[in-house]
Structures are given as C-alpha cells and as structure tokens.
C-alpha cells in the first residue's frame, strides 16, 4: 500500500516565508507542496482546480487577507483545511478566522517538526493552535454569559470535550473512552450545537472561555 500524501499550498506574500515553509515541509515524505502563491487570488483559484488537503495562509496580505481567503477556500472546497500563519507580536483577528472556518493557527516561528505535525494533524481533522494565539484568544474580552446561560453538557459530553481540548481526533477519543467512532461524532455534533459554534476548533476555544477545560 502506497504512502498517502497530504497536498499542501502556501499563500503568503513574503517570499522568504514561503521558501522557509517549503524547506520545513521537505523533511516529511508524506507531505507534498503543490504550489506557493504571493497573493490570495492565485491560491484560491488553485484550490478550486486541484485536490488540496491543507492550505497555509498568512493572516495579513495585500488584497484579500487571511480571513477573506479562508472564507473563499472553504466556500468552494470545504474539505480543504486552512492553517492561519501569524507573527508573534501582531494582534490578529483570530476569532474572525475561526468564523471563516480555519482549522488552526501557527506562529511563523514554529519549528519545522511542529509545522509538519500541525499539517498532519489538521489533515486528520484535529484542530491546532500555537501557544501564543491560544493565549490571545483566551484573553480577548468576551461577553460573559449569565450563569443560567452557560451551556449544560452531559458528563459524557464533558469527557469528549476535554479530549477535544487536548487535540484528540475522533478515533483517539473513541479509543480513550471505549466508544464507537460514530458515537463520538454524535457527541461532538451535540457539543457544537450546545455551545452555539460551527466547528471543532470553535468548540475548543469556547470551552476555554467558559472554563470547561478547567473543570
């Protein structure tokens, strides 16, 4: 059985960043960079015409920014996972990227090994958030819901959510909790509905905001 390749595109207006990411991903024999683009429009069009599994997208670019690019990619190819690239010291609109359908956030200072792991993870449906962006998300002022409006989750849903927050895939959650994978999918769907979110990553962030990850 042949090696299953993960097809990647890189969309970043900084040529040095594009080259560095290509070099980083070369260490992985199961990841193939199909193309790189300095502008969003070229990357969006490419994903329409080619089987792209993961798109690495800079948050700030001339023309369409990372949030707009994510929306366009997800609208035409919802199976493509988008990883947002961000710098350590910039105050980015991470919540907007979440709403657009991003699968995760990576610092541009991420190590080659961590970048490879992140690409593999989102290909498997696992959300990825680098430490600094998660800190920003958790520290972003939110309208705290009244106590009676905090979503009520069953104990099993809390168990599943706790593992989601640790980056587990559905298959890994199923093994850890001795459940079928279809049951885990049902629990994840219910959790997202109860939390009022539309993605696993949004559920993880909402869990942090509400303190479920600390319960």
Q: For the chain, what are the domain ranges?
A: 6-139, 147-214
% residues pLDDT > 90 (the chain): 47
Given CATH 2.130.10.30, say whether it is the number of domain 6-139.
no
Asked if pLDDT for residue 137 goes beyond 60, the answer is: no
Nearest to 8 by CA among 16, 114, 17, 37: 37
The whole-number average pLDDT for the span 52-81 is: 93
Domain 147-214 - what CATH class? mainly alpha
* 93-119 tens-digit pLDDT: 677 777 888 888 888 888 888 899 889
CA distance linking residue 121 with residue 8, whole number of Å: 13
The whole-number average pLDDT for the span 132-155 is: 60
Is pLDDT larger for residue 212 or for residue 36?
A: 36
Interhelix angle for 170-177 vs 155-165, to 10°? 130
Query: Given this model, what pLDDT does residue 99 score?
Result: 80
* 69-92 tens-digit pLDDT: 999 999 999 999 999 988 754 545
Query: Given this model, what pLDDT does residue 151 score?
Result: 81
Dihedral of the CA atoms 189, 59, 166, 80 (nearest 10)?
50
CA distance linking residue 207 with residue 132, whole number of Å: 17
Tokens for 20? 């560095």
């Amino acid at each position: 059985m042949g090696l299953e390749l993960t097809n990647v595109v890189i969309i970043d207006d900084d040529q040095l960043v594009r080259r560095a990411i290509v070099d980083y991903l070369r260490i992985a024999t199961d990841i193939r960079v199909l193309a790189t683009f300095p502008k969003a429009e070229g990357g969006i069009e490419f994903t329409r015409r080619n089987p792209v599994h993961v798109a690495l997208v800079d948050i700030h670019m001339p023309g369409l920014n990372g949030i707009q690019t994510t929306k366009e990619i997800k609208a035409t190819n919802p199976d493509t996972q988008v990883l947002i690239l961000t710098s350590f010291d910039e105050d980015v609109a991470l919540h907007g990227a979440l709403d657009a359908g991003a699968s995760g956030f990576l610092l541009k200072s991420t190590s080659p090994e961590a970048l490879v792991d992140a690409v593999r993870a989102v290909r498997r449906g696992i959300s990825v958030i680098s430490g600094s962006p998660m800190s920003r998300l958790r520290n972003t002022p939110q309208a705290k819901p009244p106590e009676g409006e905090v979503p009520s989750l069953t104990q099993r849903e809390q168990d599943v959510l706790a593992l989601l927050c640790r980056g587990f895939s559905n298959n890994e959650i199923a093994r850890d909790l001795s459940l079928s994978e279809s049951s885990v999918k049902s629990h994840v769907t219910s959790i997202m509905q109860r939390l009022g979110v539309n993605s696993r990553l949004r559920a993880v962030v909402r869990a942090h905001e509400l303190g479920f990850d600390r319960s």
